[in-house]
Structure 1
């Protein structure tokens, strides 16, 4: 996993200019306290606070002024703030996203104008009220589960290890929050957390409590509790929603390790923190994971024809291809007539640049459109992945009905003009892009949508 982005300090000349006498700003010139500090509070100080998780603080005028040109550059390039689900002409999500960090084009222009004007301070009386950044992690931790023993991945090769975790539940429980805590972020590529109601992992894990599990967790019956990838934050639900975990169930955590070539990774012991409901909630949440179709289905859905096909439909991103698109479709079929969509998340690897998830209604009602975009990530960044939860009361969440279709459109850039892929090629010691197929390894690709859905608790 990659480190948080590091701001580069301006040149000595810029720092010296920043210390020169400051001209009084005109009425139309943006100032720190009136115009810039509110933007930093909204979109930056969650990480860039004093003693925050980011390498530099933007909590004071002095620190923000020193980095004003860098702030303007990073926001214009959409590298900061880390929020991939930007508004586009082709996607208007059905509800706003909770905790939306993105900056509008006008706000980004304001940051540039402030930097170009010499980053004036303005009147402290114009400053917004101080804010307290939300603490990282769960609001309350009831259980913290750790592997029986750390695991050291082999040097330079991808590996998939499943760790058997026993929460010791003597009766059914309802998870209302989870946080995956990687032990060695330099090698943990992603993690999936499964519910093992039949305790099959016990035999698979043996005395070590872990086992190899390339592809899937090797369980005959399971459900997805949650996932972690770089940038993912702790996941918490409101009091009236929970994820069911049966009595005596185990949890199996599948971790994908990706050590750098030539480096012997230190052992990892990734942990899981859980918050449990005090009583049975009125609604249950289930996780739908759709995508990674290797071929068309018999009904014509699954992987759709694409520009990289060679005679038959295949997932193939040719070397040197920019703007390459793969599409997949899934018809929803479940026993409950209608459920609510809590949010949406997406997953790709280094060649990915944009993923759009659409809902196609089988039977639109009232003012419902035939097609509704649920999320689009035109600023996709592998290092900053998250679930985008809709900011609406449960009864006002968008709905999904049996017979509706979910369509994924995944766009890739398999050239060295793609900085993420170029960096990965260097890391893998490859001289040029290769054809990319569907797979688990970092230089394979994926096309996945995660839809947490809410339904009445039986």
Structure 2
């Protein structure tokens, strides 16, 4: 027996025991085989449950769901798209990564056999794994009690005839003294249409009423990314040595990405963020810096793989890294970032996502240091199947190459500002 079949056999021993009455093997309403049911429940139904969440276009609960025409391509069945996506390294399903060999063998084998119905009902079926941050397991856990809520002045009502929309709203916190933000907790209201959310701090106020927006609008206000949430994402909690400083009139912008592929009517949402703040200031202010590039062009029907170096300027000092979040858009295939010490010492990993997945962006906890003279090297790769060139930009159909790094204390050189690393990095084709 080969290794794949042996793994599949082991998994079969672990699925819930079956019991109940026999069903018609040819009926679309018949039960799924218990091994198929187990894989779907554990890995797919966080989004593709009986009531699909996070913009998922269809449920994957019954045999009929899997044999139904696909929403995105009615000439194919859902099972055809499922079997393609579970092998797609660039856009895997589930978004967190490809299934195990045993799980792939179960779904592939079932599809190849003609999707036969199960012979009986399986026990312990359901929506599947939860995951924090709105994935079914409740809000993410933090070691503090949020005291500042960022929410829209009114719910955003998603138009029935709009499949995909970016929406922004602003919140201004008026503070009588400096505070530190110690944790940022996503607060998910309508998990049916919410695809992901980003939180920025801006230099000017944004309207409190939610309305369609473009990322370039936020960039115009010198928006600094503070947090990001996607299905399964967690809260970001800072270590006790540092906090994000807020003072006076502090302006926040929440950008929501909604997906309504099923043309649902009457969907509305008030998602946002809950922040833990404290007047008991921590030893260090924290800040975020984007390493990478903001000038490139990906040719039509082509690819681009480039590596960009940014040298930490002399006199900057030394810094501690808290977390990092790699960020690209939908054409990305690879992103990684590394600290190259100026003297002796091994390179330090700041995060690597290969293959890149636009639907699964998270902050990674990092414990590292960098200092003046060190080089931060960021590699990005894209594939562009479209008929037009793609350049850097804030829109989803533009592209990005950033490793957002949260660190302390902030760089305070008079000649330095937040976007400089992306503007001045030296880029070349990756060897």
Q: What's the TM-score bracket when you normalise by the shorter of the two chains? A: 0.5 to 0.7
In the alignment, structure 1 residue 412 sits paired with structure 2 residue 417: no
**Aligned with 1:29: secondary structure?**
helix
Go from structure 1 to structure 2 and tell me whether the alpha carbon gap of 1:283 and 1:75 turns closer, same or farther (over 3 Å shift).
Answer: farther
Distance in 2 between residues matched to 1:377 and 1:242, nearest whole Å: 27
- Aligned match for 2:350, one of 349, 366, 374: 374
Partner of 1:434: 388
Partner of 1:452: 406
Partner of 2:292: 291
**How far is 1:44 from its partner?**
4.7
Go from structure 1 to structure 2 and tell me whether the alpha carbon gap of 1:152 and 1:240 turns closer, same or farther (over 3 Å shift).
Answer: same
Provide TM-score, normalisation by structure 1: 0.56
**CA displacement 1:415-451 (0-9 Å, x = unmatched):** 25xxxxxxxxxxxxxxxx1122222333332222222
The answer to whether the 8 A contact 2:184-2:227 is kept is no
Partner of 1:179: 186
CA RMSD of aligned residues (A): 5.6
Partner of 1:170: 176
Go from structure 1 to structure 2 and tell me whether the alpha carbon gap of 1:160 and 1:114 turns closer, same or farther (over 3 Å shift).
Answer: closer
**How far is 1:455 from its partner?**
5.8
Provide TM-score, normalisation by structure 2: 0.59
In the alignment, structure 1 residue 77 sits paired with structure 2 residue 88: yes
Q: Any residues of structure 2 matched to 1:18-417 within 5 Å, and which?
A: 29-32=9-12, 34=14, 43-44=43-44, 46-47=46-47, 53=53, 56=59, 73-78=84-89, 79-83=92-96, 103-105=99-101, 108-109=104-105, 112=108, 134=132, 135-139=137-141, 141-148=146-153, 163-171=169-177, 172-179=179-186, 191-194=198-201, 196=203, 200-201=204-205, 214=216, 216-219=218-221, 223-227=224-228, 231=231, 233-237=233-237, 240=240, 243-253=243-253, 255=255, 271-277=271-277, 280=281, 285-294=286-295, 315-321=296-302, 323-333=303-313, 335-348=316-329, 350-365=330-345, 368=346, 371-382=347-358, 384-390=359-365, 397-415=367-385
**Aligned with 2:9: secondary structure?**
coil
**How far is 1:353 from its partner?**
2.5
Higher strand share: 2
**How far is 1:413 from its partner?**
1.9
Aligned length: 351
Distance in 2 between residues matched to 1:51 and 1:257, nearest whole Å: 19
Distance in 2 between residues matched to 1:168 and 1:434, nearest whole Å: 45
